[in-house]
Structure 1
Amino acid sequence: MDVNSLTLLVEILDAGNLSEAARRLKMSRANVSYHLNQLERSVGLQLVRRTTRRVEPTEIGLQLYEHGRAIRNALLAARESVTTLGQSLQGRVRLSVPSGYGQLVMSEWLIEFKRRYPGIVLDVLFENRVEDLMRDEVDIAVRIMSEPPQNLVARDMGSVRYVACASRSFADSHGMPVQLDDLRTAPLITAAVVGRQLRVAAYLHDERHEVLLEPTIISENFLFLRQAVLAGLGVGIVPDYVVHDDLKRGDVVTTLDEWRLSIFGTNMYMLYMPNRHHTRAAATFIEFILEHARASGRGGAA
Structure 2
Amino acid sequence: MAIAEMRPNEGMDVKALILLVEILDAGNLSEAARRLKTSRANVSYHLQQLEKAAGVQLVRRTTRRVEPTEIGLKLYEYGRTIHDTLLAARESVSTLGQGLRGRVRLSVPSGYGQLVMSAWLIDFKRQYPDIVLDVIFENRVEDLLRDEVDIAVRVMSEPPGNLVARDMGAVRYVACASSAYAAAHGMPQEPEDLRAVPVITSEVAGRQLRMAAYRGEERRELRLEPTLISENFFFLRQAILAGLGVGLVPDYVVQEDVAGGAAATALDAWRLSIFGAHMYMLYMPNRHHTRAISTFIEFMLQQARGAGRG
Query: Normalization by structure 1: what TM-score?
Result: 0.97
CA distances 1:96-149 after superposition (whole Å, capped 9, x unpaired): 111110011000000000000000111111111111101111111000000000
Other structure's SS at 1:96 match:
strand
CA distances 1:183-228 after superposition (whole Å, capped 9, x unpaired): 0011111111111121211111122211111212111101110111
Structure 2 residue 37 is matched with structure 1 residue 26: yes
**87, 105, 111: which one aligns with 2:98:** 87
Alignment-derived partner of residue 204 in structure 2: 193
**177, 187, 205: which one aligns with 2:216:** 205
Query: Normalization by structure 2: what TM-score?
Result: 0.95
**139, 160, 165: which one aligns with 1:154:** 165
Alignment-derived partner of residue 261 in structure 2: 250
**1, 6, 9: which one aligns with 2:17:** 6
In structure 1, distance between residues paired with 2:281 and 2:41: 36
Tell me how far 1:38 sits from its aligned partner: 1.0
Alignment-derived partner of residue 60 in structure 1: 71
In structure 2, distance between residues paired with 1:50 and 1:233: 52
In structure 1, distance between residues paired with 2:192 and 2:116: 31
Structure 2 residue 235 is matched with structure 1 residue 231: no
Report the residue type matching 1:25 in the other structure: L
Alignment-derived partner of residue 146 in structure 2: 135
In structure 2, distance between residues paired with 1:51 and 1:109: 42
In structure 2, distance between residues paired with 1:121 and 1:38: 38
Other structure's SS at 2:123 match:
helix
Alignment-derived partner of residue 180 in structure 1: 191
Aligned length: 299
In structure 2, distance between residues paired with 1:47 and 1:9: 9
- Structure 1 runs, 4 residues or longer, greater than 4 Å off: none
| Range that drifts further, 56-65 or 258-267 | 56-65
In structure 1, distance between residues paired with 2:158 and 2:36: 33
In structure 2, distance between residues paired with 1:100 and 1:227: 13
In structure 2, distance between residues paired with 1:220 and 1:59: 41
Report the residue type matching 2:211 in the other structure: V
Tell me how far 1:282 sits from its aligned partner: 0.8
Tell me how far 1:48 sits from its aligned partner: 1.4
Alignment-derived partner of residue 45 in structure 1: 56
Report the residue type matching 1:184 in the other structure: R
Alignment-derived partner of residue 104 in structure 1: 115
Report the residue type matching 1:102 in the other structure: G
Report the residue type matching 1:84 in the other structure: T
Task: Structure 1: give runs of 5+ residues left out of the alignment.
Answer: none
Tell me how far 1:247 sits from its aligned partner: 1.4
In structure 2, distance between residues paired with 1:100 and 1:182: 26
Alignment-derived partner of residue 298 in structure 2: 287
- Supply the RMSD in Å over aligned alpha carbons: 0.9
In structure 2, distance between residues paired with 1:61 and 1:129: 31
| Range that drifts further, 74-83 or 193-202 | 193-202
In structure 2, distance between residues paired with 1:97 and 1:57: 30
